[in-house]
Amino acid sequence: MEGTIKNFRMGRHHQHTAHLVVVFNSVDTRTKAAKLVGRKAVWTSPAGKKIEGEIRSAHGNGGAVRVIFQRSLPGQSLGTKVKVE
C-alpha cells in the first residue's frame, strides 16, 4: 500500500520534522485509518537510503494518519510516496 506525504506535523510555533501526515487513496474515514495503526512505513530517498517509521494514529476525520519516523525527513520528501508494510 502506498501513501503520499502531505505535510509535517505542525504546532503553533514549531514543525516536527520526524512526524508526518500521510494520506492514502483507498482510506477515506477515520475508522479505516485507525486499522493501519502500528504498521511500518518506509520512505526511500532519491539516493536509495531507506528511513523507517511507524503509523501511530489517525489525523482528522478524512483518513489521514500520523507517521513517526526514526529520523527527521527533508523538506524534499513532501509530496513523495511512502510504502506501508
Encode pLDDT of 19-31 as tens digits. 999 999 999 999 9
Which of helix, strand or coil describes residue 13?
coil
Q: Which domain holds residue 67?
A: 2-84
- Joined together, the cell numbers standing for residue 84 give 506501508
The mean per-residue pLDDT over the stretch 57-72 comes to 94
Per-residue pLDDT at 18: 94
Total domains present in the chain:
1
- pLDDT mean across residues, the chain: 94
| 41 — pLDDT class (breaks 50, 70, 90) | very high
Per-residue pLDDT at 75: 92
| CATH number, position 70 | 2.40.10.190
Per-residue pLDDT at 52: 96
> Which 8-state DSSP code applies to residue 74?
P
For residues 55 and 40, what is the distance between their CA atoms, to the nearest angstrom? Answer: 6
For residues 73 and 41, what is the distance between their CA atoms, to the nearest angstrom? Answer: 13
pTM, two decimals, is 0.90
